[in-house]
A and B are shown apart, each in its own frame.
Chain A
Amino acid sequence: MSPDPALSVDIAVRRGDRLIETRFAATAGITALFGPSGAGKTSVLDAIAGLVRPARGRIALGGEVLFDAARGIDLAPEKRHCGVVFQDLRLFPHRTVRDNLLYGQRLADPAAQLLSLDEACAFLGIGALLDRRPRTLSGGEAQRVAIGRALLRGPRLLLLDEPLSSLDAARREEIMVVIERIRDQLALPMVLVSHRVDEVERLASEVVSLDVLAEPA
C-alpha cells in the first residue's frame, strides 16, 4: 500500500439547484460513497471520471492532477485512466461482448494493462459470452462484462456506480465476490457508490457519507 492517497477529492459539484460538497482521500482498497438517493453520489463519480465539471475544487489521482479549478486544469475523460462501471452499464449494443471488452484495451497503453482478455474472461467467468450481443445477456452477465470492459481499459482507479442494485440475491453475491477479488488480487483502488449499509460494511475500508443538504447554490 502506498502512503500517498491514490485519489484525493475536494470538490463542489452542481446538481440541479444544489451544490454537493465532498472531500475525501482514498487509498488502496474500496472507498464507499454512501448516502440516500438524490444525495449526488453519481455526480461525484462523474466528476472524478471527467464527465461532469465541478464548480470548484481539485481532484488528483496518484500524484496527477485531474482537475483543479484554480489552475484551470480539467483533463478529458479519456486521459484520466479511470475505469467506470455505470449503473446503467452502457454496453455498446452494436458490438459483441468481445468487442465491448476490447474497446478500451485497444486504446490503452500496453504498459498499463492489468489483465489480458483471456485472464479477464477467466477472472469474471465470461469466456462463454464473447460472441453474444449485450441485449442477450442476463443482468449478472451484463454486469460482469461491464466490469471486464472497465478493467481491460487498464485503469488506475475503478469507479463503480451501484453495481449491485439491479441484481437478485444470488447475483449480488457473485458480483460482491468479483469486487473483492479485484480488491485483493489486482490491488486496484475502487470507489463504490452504494445506498445499502450491508454492501458498504462488507466491501469498503473507508466510507464517505453524502447527505442531502439543502444549500443554496
Chain B
Amino acid sequence: MALLSPADWAIVALSLKVGVVAVAATLPVAFALAWVLARTRFPGRIVLDAVVHLPLVLPPVVMGWLLLLGFGASGPFGRALEAVFGTSVMFRWTGAALAAAVMALPLMVRAIRLSLEAVDPRLESAARTLGAGPWRAFATVTLPLTLPGMIAATVLGLARSLGEFGATITFVSNIPGETQTLPLAIYSALQLPGGDVQVARLAAISVALSLAALIASEALARRTGLRHVA
C-alpha cells in the first residue's frame, strides 16, 4: 500500500479538526444535560431526554436537513449568526463540526449520565459540612468521580464524529478541504474510476484511528478506574 499523499493527510487533518472541535464544544453541553437528566426531576424531563436522544434514532439525512433549516441562510440560527457575527457555518468546516457535534451528543450524554448516576450525591453534602461551597463540592467530589464517564464520552464522541456521513453531506455538502471528512472522501473516491487504491488507504486510516481511540480509552479507563472507583 502506498504511503499517504499530501491530499490524504489533508483529509485526515480536517477530520481530526472537525472531530476534536465538535467533541470539545459538546463536552460541557453534554455534561450539563447529563447532570440535569441524572440529578433533577421536573415536568418535561422525559421530553428533554427524548430530544437529546433524537439524533441517535433519526436518519442522519433528516438531522442534516433539520440543521439546514435552522442554520441555512434563511433559518433562524443562520440569520442570527449572520446578524451577530457576520458569519455562517454553511459549506464550512464549522458546519461539519456542528453536524458531528449534534450526532455525537446523545452518546456523550449517555456515557456521562451513567457515571453521574453512580456518584452518591450524599458525598457532596459531606463536602459541604467540611466547609466547601456548592461549586467547590461539585468540582472536588462529583467532577473527578465522573472522569471515567467523561473519557468514555470523549472517545465515543470522537468516534461518532470521525464516522459522521449523512448529516454532514446533507447539511454542508462534500467540499474537498472544507467539509470533506474521511467518510465523505471515501464516498467520493468510490465514485471515481480507479479510486480503489485511495479508498483502501482512507479506509485503513479510519480503522487505525478507531483502534487508536479505543485502545487509548481502555488504557485511560484502567488508570482512572484504579484511582477513582470505590
A binding-site residues for B, Cβ under 8 Å = 49-51, 76-78, 80, 82-84, 86, 88, 90, 92-94, 103-104, 107-108, 134-135, 149-150, 153
Whether A86 contacts B230 by the Cβ 8 Å rule is: no
The complex places the Cα of A137 from the Cα of B166 at a distance, in Å, of: 52
Q: Which of B123-141 contact A (CB under 8 A)?
A: 123, 125-134, 136, 140-141
The contact of A93 among B129, B136, B145, by CB within 8 Å, is: B145
The contact of A107 among B130, B144, B227, by CB within 8 Å, is: B130
Whether A78 contacts B144 by the Cβ 8 Å rule is: no
Whether B129 contacts A107 by the Cβ 8 Å rule is: no
- B interface size (C-beta, 8 A): 22
The complex places the Cα of A49 from the Cα of B136 at a distance, in Å, of: 18
A residues near B41, Cβ cutoff 8 Å:
none
The complex places the Cα of A78 from the Cα of B136 at a distance, in Å, of: 11
Main secondary structure of the interface of B (DSSP, over half): helix
B residues near A50, Cβ cutoff 8 Å:
128-129
B binding-site residues for A, Cβ under 8 Å = 120, 122-123, 125-134, 136, 140-141, 144-145, 227-230
4 further contact pairs, Cβ within 8 A, besides A78-B132, A92-B123, A93-B228:
A51-B128, A51-B129, A76-B134, A84-B129
Whether B133 contacts A76 by the Cβ 8 Å rule is: yes
Whether B123 contacts A78 by the Cβ 8 Å rule is: no
A residues near B227, Cβ cutoff 8 Å:
94
Whether B126 contacts A90 by the Cβ 8 Å rule is: yes
Whether B125 contacts A153 by the Cβ 8 Å rule is: no
Whether A78 contacts B120 by the Cβ 8 Å rule is: no
The contact of B145 among A76, A94, A104, by CB within 8 Å, is: A94
The residue on B at minimum CB distance from A154 is B131
B residues near A76, Cβ cutoff 8 Å:
128, 133-134
Whether A78 contacts B128 by the Cβ 8 Å rule is: yes
- With A88-B122, A90-B126 in contact, is A78–B228 under 8 Å at CB? no
